Amino acid sequence: MNILVCVSRVPDTATRIIVGSDGKSIDKNGVKYIVNPYDEFALEEGLRLREKNGGSVTAITVGTDAATDVLRTALAMGVDKAILVKGDEPTDSYYVAYNIAKIAKEINPDLIILGRQSIDFDSFQLPSMLAEMLGMPSVSVVSALKIENGQVSAERDVEGGKETVACSLPCIISAQKGLNEPRYPKLPDIMKAKSKPIDTREAEKTEPKTSIIGMEIPSKARAGKVLEASDANIDEIVRLLKEEAKVI
Ligand SMILES: Cc1cc2nc3c(=O)[nH]c(=O)nc-3n(C[C@H](O)[C@H](O)[C@H](O)COP(=O)(O)OP(=O)(O)OC[C@H]3O[C@@H](n4cnc5c(N)ncnc54)[C@H](O)[C@@H]3O)c2cc1C
């Protein structure tokens, strides 16, 4: 089974995000980048499927030269090949989907695995766009996956329960937390990954379909309210949750 895993490079979750001076982008000074956490589940699932069924796993990212670091992490985890679709910084989800679809048409994967969302821009658009561009079935937010004889059975967490969805290969899956426990790359593999080849392609520019016109960070977190033991009667707590916190 040949598997393509899409990997996004995102700011570390511990990074303090600052909006740039243009008011519509992130100030990248001092930002540390990591593999998008949901893509670690995608990579792990690809590797497990290869270990069970044979074949190969290719990691792909669309971005600038700097995005090579997430491909090195994927190589250290054990993927067979890494592709950087190199261009300017991504302009919108369509651009990323278009460039991944172009490579997918060339390498014909049996399965494409993505994370459920990229934690930087949180658009949730890539899996569906890619499915539409490639004419493949797509199952989103998958927390358990079985593939036998070309048939896919994917479990999804839904409100208060689970849903099992079937489709056949080739297809697109987006990974949810809990799909597996991603492996930590071992030091010798990290060292070896530094010298592995990265297949670098030129990204094709596309006309942006959407553009960010503004970004803002909430001015101040709301102050918490501390209840004394004498205040802590159930009626008062329910009233505060309803009228002040407005969460029930
Ligand atoms: C430095 C930078 C600057 C950006 N500037 C803009 C901007 O100015 N305007 C704007 O509209 N958007 C901008 N973006 C966002 C970007 O264009 C896309 O929104 C984003 O790359 C992916 O789309 P998504 O949010 O829909 O991903 P999602 O659908 O939320 O991600 C789902 C999955 O898709 C895969 N994926 C996502 N991105 C990539 C990628 N680049 N390569 C490979 N796989 C990927 C991952 O598996 C991920 O888990 C920028 C992104 C970056 C990194």
Residue located nearest, by CA, to atom 43 of ligand 1: 61
Contact 94, 203 (CB under 8 A): no
What is the percentage of the chain residues whose pLDDT exceeds 90?
75
The pLDDT mean for the chain works out to 93
- Region 176-200: mean pLDDT is 97
Q: Is the CB of 123 under 6 A from ligand 1?
A: yes
Residue to substitute in 118, 130, 173 for testing ligand 1 pocket (most ligand atoms within 8 angstroms of CB):
118
- Look at domain 2-202 and name its CATH class: alpha beta
If you measure from the C-alpha of residue 150 to the centroid of ligand 1, how many angstroms do you get, rounded to a whole number? 30
> pLDDT digits over 148-175, tens only?
999 999 999 999 999 999 999 999 999 9
Q: Out of 35-49, 138-152, 198-212, 224-238, which region has the weakest mean confidence (pLDDT)?
A: 224-238
β-pair partners for 86: 63, 202
If you measure from the C-alpha of residue 90 to the centroid of ligand 1, how many angstroms do you get, rounded to a whole number? 7
Q: Is the CB of 58 under 6 A from ligand 1?
A: no
